[in-house]
Amino acid sequence: MPIKKKRCQICRRWFTPDPRTPHQVCCANPECRRQHKAAMNKKWRLANPDYDKSRAAKKCIWAGELDYWSRYRHTHPIYVAADNKRRHKAHLTHKSAANQAVMRKIAVGRLESLRNNCTDSAANQAVIARRLDVIVEYLFPNESAANPMGTDMRPPRGP
């Protein structure tokens, strides 16, 4: 008996289910399978809201009784070295991101002081202001990376 085609619940295209799984509801497309799995996981978590809490508590009790983590780290020095390296890199990345906005503010302030100190003539000020704006754009091309809040920290442009 041939297997009847079904319509995928995600992309709505017709597909032939795998004969071993007649209850299959989505096609073999990886994106459809990913979306279906996410929906099933969400449905299961809504039906079992306390699972994570009870499982975490059991794991803590088990690991604490057996002194698992200290023994594991003692017997796996390669893991310890890799984990320490990963945590150090994460710390440096976080520290760098936190200081980036402050460094940008200092640099822009210095460039603005250069702009304000040049008071020879109006024509020269306009040229200097344009050059400083180009320098600022060159130094900080990506506003979102330098300033995660999305606001421009540069002072207003002069005349």
What confidence tier does 98 reach under pLDDT thresholds 50, 70, 90?
A: low
Read off φ and ψ for residue 49, nearest 5 degrees.
-70, -25
Between 85-99, 103-117, 128-142, the lowest mean confidence (pLDDT) is in: 128-142
pTM: 0.41
Tell me what pLDDT residue 35 has: 96
For the segment 74-100, the average pLDDT, to the nearest whole number, is: 85
CA 32 – CA 11 distance, rounded (Å)? 7
For the segment 21-50, the average pLDDT, to the nearest whole number, is: 93
102: closest CA among 153, 150, 34? 153
Whether the predicted pLDDT of 38 surpasses 90: yes
Q: What value does the mean pLDDT of the chain take? A: 79
For the segment 62-91, the average pLDDT, to the nearest whole number, is: 90
- Kindly give the residue spans of alpha helices, DSSP state H, lying in the chain: 30-47, 51-66, 68-75, 77-117, 122-139, 143-146
- Burial class (CB within 10 angstroms; exposed 0-12, middle 13-18, buried 19+) of 133: middle
Tell me what pLDDT residue 146 has: 44
> Which helix (DSSP H) or strand (DSSP E) does residue 7 occupy?
strand 6-7
* Tokens describing residue 133: 């704006």
